[in-house]
Amino acid sequence: MGAFRGAVEIGAHAIETDLHLSKDGVVMLSHVRNSAFRLPENVLALTIVIRLQDASLKRCFGVDKTVAECDWSYLSSLKTLREPQQGMPRLLDLLMYLGQPAQEHIWLLLDIKADDDADDLLIRTAKTIALSPTTRAWSDRIVLGAWNANYVDRCRQYFPNFKIAFIGFNLVFARQYLGQPDMDFNLLQKMLPGPYGNHFMKAVKKAGQKLYVWTVNEEYWMEWSIRKQVDGVITDDPKLFLEVCDRWVAARGGSVVRRGCGSKGRGAVTRLYAWAFAWQLVSFLFTAIAWRRFTTINKRKQGLIEVEQATAVST
């Protein structure tokens, strides 16, 4: 909880965290630290989140187990290896803190991890939220992050009045949620540079939906994110991002003020784009393979049905 409090105290207006279920069904937050900041609203509003997450307890607590293997009674006794030592918080602990009037401006992006059973995790999350008092409705303050269609459907089932953000790295899959008023997007930033990404971002903006991008650690991509006016940036280096944002504020809505890059800098930018397009190629190949497998399975099912029908007719 110390990390969350610290983020709020230094000016955070949003917190992103991952949800996991303990062995006995307690909704846990498996985060180390995160923070978020906002620029002046008359310039540009961006959410900047730093996050480190892991369902394993090894790195943070020195225990070679996962959250799902431990009861809350055991998890509550753990302390982080780093000083100052902190315990592992529950979702309830965070909501009780954010439910105070002084924190009513803070909103949450809850990353619903697919490690747990969707129904179990979301039912217990809904119960936890219902038990947490707040001066401002949680449906106005919580966005649910879902990685696939199954989790999107479950979020809609258990949280009908909440916003949902599709989390992913494939724009083809993401497009199915364009124009759906309860949906926003939280996408891998490296999928967006280039013509197809630009077209997608324009479609998101036209539909009145929000776009968050992850994980943006390079200064050039931070500037790119501001120029593209995305709604949120997830980063491991908020200090650097704030420096970039300060330059944007200094320009008062104009082009981002860049430091001179020279030939060496241009080479670095070229490598960044090459890396981004490599990610896009991998995503394209993944989509093609998945689609081929899907159509092959469907053809086999159709063939089986036709054989069964022919057998039934002959008998």
pLDDT of residue 52: 38
What is the tens place of the pLDDT at every residue in 259-271? 555 444 677 888 8
pLDDT of residue 273: 84
For tokens 């509003």, the residue is 45
Q: 130 near 149, Cβ under 8 Å? A: no
Residue 150: Cβ-neighbour burial (10 angstroms; 0-12, 13-18, 19+): exposed
Name the 3-class secondary structure at 216. coil
Q: Burial letters for 187-222: b for 16+ Cβ neighbours within 10 Å, e otherwise?
A: bbbbbbbeeebeebbeebeeeebbbbbbbbebbbbb
Q: Calculate what percentage of the chain has a pLDDT beyond 90.
A: 47
pLDDT of residue 269: 83
| Closest C-alpha to 209, from 275, 156, 164 | 164
Instruction: Indicate the pLDDT class of residue 199, thresholds 50, 70 and 90.
Output: very high
Residue 239: Cβ-neighbour burial (10 angstroms; 0-12, 13-18, 19+): exposed
R_g of the chain computed on alpha carbons: 22
Q: 221 near 189, Cβ under 8 Å? A: yes
DSSP 287-300: HHHHHHHHHHHHHH
| Closest C-alpha to 55, from 34, 84, 75 | 75
| Closest C-alpha to 23, from 167, 120, 158, 138 | 120
Per-residue tokens: 14: 């949003």
**What residues form DSSP beta bridges with 108?**
15, 142
Task: Output the CA torsion sign for 198, 203, 206, 211.
Answer: negative
| Residue 51: pLDDT over 50 | no
If residue 107 lies in a helix (H) or strand (E), which one and from where to where? strand 107-112
What does pLDDT average to over the chain?
81
Q: 129 near 142, Cβ under 8 Å? A: yes
Instruction: Indicate the pLDDT class of residue 150, thresholds 50, 70 and 90.
Output: very high
Q: At what angle do helices 91-98 and 118-130 cross, to 10 degrees?
A: 30
Domain 2-263 homologous superfamily, CATH: Phosphatidylinositol (PI) phosphodiesterase (3.20.20.190)
**Average pLDDT over every residue of 186-200:** 95
What is the tens place of the pLDDT at every residue in 215-259? 888 999 999 999 999 998 887 777 788 788 888 888 765 555 555
Distance CA(286)–CA(293), nearest Å, equals 11
**Average pLDDT over every residue of 171-181:** 95
Question: Cα angle at 204 between 202 and 207, to 5 degrees?
Answer: 105
